[in-house]
Amino acid sequence: MNTLSKTFNEIFGHAATATEHASGRVNLIGEHTDYNGGFVLPTAIPQQTIVEMSKAPAGDRKARVSSANQGFKVHEYEIGKEAKQTSKEDHWLDYIQGVTCILVKEGFELGGFHARIHSQVPMGSGLSSSAALEVSFMRALRTTFGLKLDDVRLAQLCQKVENDFVGARVGIMDPMACSLADVGTALFLDTQSMEYKQVKVPEAAELIVINSGVAHRNVGGGYNTRRAECESACEALGITLLREVGMSDLPRVAKLPDVLSRRAKHVITENERVLQSVAAMNAQDPVRLGELFKESHLSMKQDYEVSIPEIDLLVELASSQKEVYGARLTGGGFGGSIVILVRKGTAVEVSQRIAALYAKASGEKPTVIVPGGT
């Protein structure tokens, strides 16, 4: 029997009482700005993480969790006694235990439960597989236990899961995007005020997302190092967040030590690119939006240094296609995926062409996530 056909009832012997989901996300522009209090512009992708859940019998404090992506083994732990996993294979359980750990610490009442997870969001792709898991799981707990949590507060708690339990110092963008974004529009989010609004992608364009085949991980040293460098730049500038400085402050930023100067420059110019991207989208101008994609990638490559040769190759191949307005690395970097803005009606053909060229040149196995794909 195909393991994906194994139902909640077959695993736990009874029906689920709640089913919740959350989409993965692709960030159109605004990379590494969220933990600096800046602007971001993500949109949802069709792929989702789905969680089915039911309460355990009264008095049972055990969480029993099974994942369709991990062979349906049932993992068990006690609510309030969460502990990080030591095996690489069970690393995904840190996000689950982190959710219940943070909810209990925040004063929410939880009992034991049974849960089945199935994720369509590819792991290590820079498309927020971890945030989609956390948001969908917390939504299932909200429904099952009647937790009083709005979507913004839920996203904030998911960020705490990453920061305080998993150990990845991610910003608020990913959980907010997975909690609030939808397919076809972008979520323009001010991560300082938490104000947000929906912005339409230009009608003359559509999106392509291609996973490079090189996995990325937020818990690794590179991501946390970049955040620490931003904090050092703030200290040198006498500010709390890089959001507090703008384009007019670049001459002052240029006087910082080289690495700190380039990190701060990226954040400042990326914030400006987000604002200009929103203006381009409101003006239905895909050409200008594509130019901003290109500028953003160059900044991530040279100033923030989070790209890698395979990603640069993929962006270069995409940019060489006549139907493409612009392409850039999306996500935290050090692998993962790129997002491409392409002329409407050409995404299927162009994405297959780019993937084939990249596979031949790199030896990697790319995956077209959008359009299509699971």
pTM for this model (two decimals):
0.86
Per the prediction, the chain carries an average pLDDT of: 93
Residues designated catalytic: 174
The pLDDT of residue 87: 75
The pLDDT of residue 71: 81
The residues pairing with 64 across neighbouring beta strands, listed in sequence order, are 76, 114
User: Cα dihedral sign for 337, 349, 370, 204?
Assistant: positive
Q: What is the DSSP string of 29-53?
A: E--S-GGGT-EEEEEEEEEEEEEEE
Number of helices and strands in the chain (H, E)? 11, 11
Q: Higher-confidence residue: 168 or 54?
A: 54
The pLDDT of residue 1: 36
Helix axes 258-282, 221-237, angle to 10 degrees: 100
**End-to-end CA gap in the chain:** 21
Token pair recorded at residue 145? 């236990």
Q: What is the mean pLDDT of residues 146-153?
A: 97
Strand pairing category for 62-67 and 113-119: parallel
Q: Give pLDDT tens digits for 278-287.
A: 999 999 999 9
The angle at the Cα of 86, spanning 122 to 22, to the nearest 5 degrees, equals 30
3-state secondary structure of 171: coil
The pLDDT of residue 221: 60
Structural domains in the chain, sorted by start: 8-196 (3.30.230.10)
Q: What is the mean pLDDT of residues 316-321?
A: 98
- Checking if the pLDDT of 3 tops 50, the result is no
Among candidate residues 101, 85, 102, 104, the one with its CA nearest the CA of residue 93: 85
